[in-house]
Amino acid sequence: MAVVGLDMGNFSSYIGVARAGGVEIIANEYSDRLTPTYVTFDKSTRVVGQASKAMEITNPKNTICNFKRLIGRRYQDLFVQQEKDLNTYSIFEGKGGSVNIEVNYLNERKRFTPEQVAAIMFGKLKHITSSESTSKAIDCVIGVPCFYTDTERRAMLEAAHIAGWNCLRLINETTAVALCYGIYKGDLPEQTEKPRLVAFVDMGHTALQASIVALNKGKLKMIATAFDLSLGGRDFDRVIMDAMREDFRKRYKIDAYSTVKAKLRLRAECEKAKKAMSSNVQPMPISLESFIDEKDVTGKMSRAEFEELAKPLLDRVRCTLMSLLKEAKTNWEDVESVEIVGGSTRIPAVKQIVQEVFRKSPMTTMNSDESVARGCTLMCAILSPTFKVKEFKIEDCQPYPITLSWHGGINEDNEVEVFGRWNVIPSSKILSFYKKEPLTITARYSYPNDIPFSEARIGQYTIEQIQAQPNGTPSKIKVKVRLNRNGIFDISQAAIIDTTTTIEEPVEDPKAGTENNPDLNTSTNSEPMDDNSNPSNTGENQQEKDEENEEPKKVATKKKRREIELPVVSRVTGATKHELERLVELENDMIQHDKKEKERSDAKNAVEEYVYDMRGKLDGGQYEKYADERNRQKLLNDLRTTENWLYDEGSNQDKNVYIERLKLLKNLGEPIRNRYNEASNRPYHMQEFMKALQRVDEAIQTWQTKSSDKYSHLDKSDMEKVYKLLIEKQRWYDQNATRFNSLKLQDDPTVLCAQIKQEKEAFERECWTILNKSKPKVELPKETPADVSKKQPPPPPSAGGPAPHPQPAPPPPNKKPLKNPPAQTQPPTANFD
């Protein structure tokens, strides 16, 4: 089972795979480790990654990027409205206020949610992963921005599910980077020592995230994060674009934003210049040929000018980093080092600000682009049973406090902040309530203005089947709330405490009548690695102890205590199970359609390729002499007709129509191609055949002349067999060599190269099975010196008996391989008759 980490950024995606030798970032079909996060809906298919990015200018309305920012959001959300202005595709309000992206797909207007588009991208990453490794990639860990709220996290999981990934965990990108750093860093302090504080700054295409992490050997603790979720590379591109627009307006009297295509072309050039400015101080050109009104335009910008224009953005970088120090309740002196990752931290002015805030040079210990994917892969390896990873404890935290509220006593609502700011994830708490009827708890982020999301509400959870105790008093309800390892809030379990007394005595519950107060001494269980721990562990035990301490005060008799699980009905955002199944089915249908379309277009391409290839080779090319004139003209004519057909009614046909068309062309063309191939390869095969004959001939001569004892153990009958084979094949060779010499180029040969090869191999196999027979092992008797003196000379090579005929002196073997096989070879040199 493959162990995979996915970093699907707004601009670029990376896939990490855990291997025995460590983490490897795998390449896509273009041998590129970066796969652009782009999806295009085309007339007949969907195009994803590099090919999609290349289509952005020609098909801007149907090419979707930056969709990661839309995941889980509502249409009315301010961020969605901003994205509407920044992107070229159409965004509409969908069912229930959701975001819908409208595209022209398969010649129809179709709407997709951002989660569906993300699923298409995830599907592409899955395809790259599984075509790269033999095992089916299912398990993965996915990086998400640390500022993602509950709804966005759920939506990300849905997208991964639609694409067929089994996401073991969502990990904050900040945490993934810290893990990637911490697990390999050899000089961290021991766990008993004071941890080392390291700051990580990640600025990508759309957002800036920064974190301060306490690191020890085998342990990381996220202290705090800070972010600006609308500050990234694209905003810097925009600064250059705006300046160029103004410049072109003045100098060329054109508006560079007047068409989508022009704006996209300008953006691509400005991004290129921005990158170039990172390593050059001299002014960088921004040139566009045949731009608006066919004008060739050119502008330039220097790094100093760029930094001046980008000052407001750079101030925001400083502001975010300062707030990070504040949130972490630390100062620059305590931060021992700063690591920068993400494409936009390559901007020298950004590095400069990092340096100024932390007063130390930013380091690039990790690969700037791949560290998130590497961290995700390491996390997946830690979670997966397939891998043994050295123990590493990860204590992540979440930035938004969560408050629970529930309807309480008469005219009274209650609430409690259940998870504070920087609460560890994963963690769980157990709350106690005293209730007689179903309890509905609402979870929300405590400070709606502090979250980068339009909706503070997380979900509503109803604990059903709550009944009063037999004596009419409220029952004690234990509710387990948790922040799971994906950073998602959940009420996973609830139970009623059933207390049955052996003596009928009223239970004096001190909490009776205060049913609307939860037990605020909630027990906490932080689960650094696994939030699936049995609730009867740690926190829950603690809770039980509390109860036991408190129970004897209430009653003097023995009590039997039983917990009965209660059903919890959750109402959270996101697709229902049924809806999710429908989306999976829909995606699979589209995958099947893409597959069919690919086969169809491959078949069409094959016809096109054949037409151009054959035409060139038949008309003055290497095949010309291998076809008789009538056939050549006929085929050339067919090729011309097919070319016209391809641009006309043949432009969009079924796969089988193309296959059939190609077959017809090949009926005429392949015999010509084969004749050419045969004629080109024949000399080589004949030469090889000749060499084989010579080698056997030499072996026979060696045996005869006894020039070496290599074959001396072979008897005459063996050598006769070899000789017979040699004569036979020599004849075969000579006959065919004669035929080939008189063969016309337009005629089909009766013997093909494959047969020559086959004959040669069969001949060699038979001869050398005999010639390579091993020598018999001879047990040497213990000899006295007298025996040695009596010894006879060894018997002749004809295995003991006298040779039936005198052996003629063999003529010298034909040793040199012939460049061009002769029509008639030298006769074999040995003679047994």
Q: How far is the CB of 355 from ligand ATP (least distance, A)?
A: 17
Q: Cα dist. 430→75, 437, 478, 495, 543 in Å?
A: 36, 19, 6, 11, 8
Q: How far is the CB of 310 from ligand ATP (least distance, A)?
A: 11
Q: What's the distance, CA 826 to chain centroid?
A: 63
Joined tokens for residue 407? 């309807």
49 binding ligand ATP? (CB under 6 A): no
204 binding Mg ion? (CB under 5 A): yes
Q: Quick one: 59 or 172, whose CB is closer to Mg ion?
A: 172
Which one of Mg ion, ligand ATP, none is in contact with 459 (Cβ closer than 5 to 8 A by kind)?
none
Binding residues for ligand ATP restricted to 224-263, rule: CB under 6 A? 232-234
Number of residues that bind Mg ion (CB under 5 A): 2
| Prior bond of 426 cis (ω within 30°) | yes
Q: Quick one: 38 or 400, whose CB is closer to ligand ATP?
A: 38
Q: Cα dist. 549→237, 285, 544 in Å?
A: 64, 77, 9
487 binding Mg ion? (CB under 5 A): no
Q: CB nearest Mg ion: which residue?
A: 204
278 binding ligand ATP? (CB under 6 A): yes
Amino acid at 286: I
Q: How far is the CB of 639 from ligand ATP (least distance, A)?
A: 46
Q: How far is the CB of 375 from ligand ATP (least distance, A)?
A: 13
Q: How far is the CB of 310 from Mg ion (least distance, A)?
A: 19
Contact mark string toward Mg ion, 164..203, x via CB under 5 A = ----------------------------------------
Strand order in the sheet with 413-419: 413-419, 402-407, 439-445, 457-463, 568-572
174 binding ligand ATP? (CB under 6 A): no
Strand order in the sheet with 108-112: 90-93, 99-105, 108-112
Q: Quick one: 201 or 425, whose CB is closer to ligand ATP?
A: 201
Grouping H, G, I as helix, E, B as strand and the rest as coil, residue 629 is helix
DSSP H helices in 648-713: 655-705
CA–CA–CA angle 220, 223, 228 (5° rounding): 115
Q: Cα dist. 324→229, 335, 348, 727 in Å?
A: 14, 11, 21, 90
Tell which residue, 75, 79, 96, 78, has the closest CA to residue 574.
96
205 binding ligand ATP? (CB under 6 A): yes
Give φ, ψ of 320 to 5 degrees: -65, -40
9 binding Mg ion? (CB under 5 A): yes
452 binding ligand ATP? (CB under 6 A): no
Amino acid at 77: D
Q: Quick one: 204 or 821, whose CB is closer to Mg ion?
A: 204
Q: Quick one: 38 or 445, whose CB is closer to ligand ATP?
A: 38
Tell which residue, 449, 427, 562, 421, has the closest CA to residue 501.
562
Which one of ligand ATP, Mg ion, none is in contact with 182 (Cβ closer than 5 to 8 A by kind)?
none
Which one of ligand ATP, Mg ion, none is in contact with 274 (Cβ closer than 5 to 8 A by kind)?
ligand ATP
Contact 664, 638 (CB under 8 A): yes
Contact mark string toward ligand ATP, 292..331, x via CB under 6 A = ----------------------------------------
Distance separating alpha carbons of residues 193 and 466, to the nearest angstrom: 49
Q: How far is the CB of 421 from Mg ion (least distance, A)?
A: 24
Distance separating alpha carbons of residues 358 and 370, to the nearest angstrom: 24
Judged by CB under 6 A, which stretch of 87-95, 199-207, 684-692, 729-737 contacts ligand ATP?
199-207
Q: How far is the CB of 373 from Mg ion (least distance, A)?
A: 10
Which one of Mg ion, ligand ATP, none is in contact with 206 (Cβ closer than 5 to 8 A by kind)?
ligand ATP
Distance separating alpha carbons of residues 830 and 833, to the nearest angstrom: 10
Binding residues for ligand ATP restricted to 346-385, rule: CB under 6 A? 346-347, 369
Which one of ligand ATP, Mg ion, none is in contact with 346 (Cβ closer than 5 to 8 A by kind)?
ligand ATP
474 binding ligand ATP? (CB under 6 A): no
Q: Cα dist. 712→33, 716, 773, 776, 811 in Å?
A: 62, 10, 11, 11, 20
Contact positions toward Mg ion, by CB under 5 A?
A: 9, 204
Contact positions toward ligand ATP, by CB under 6 A?
A: 9-12, 68, 204-207, 232-234, 271, 274-275, 278, 342-344, 346-347, 369
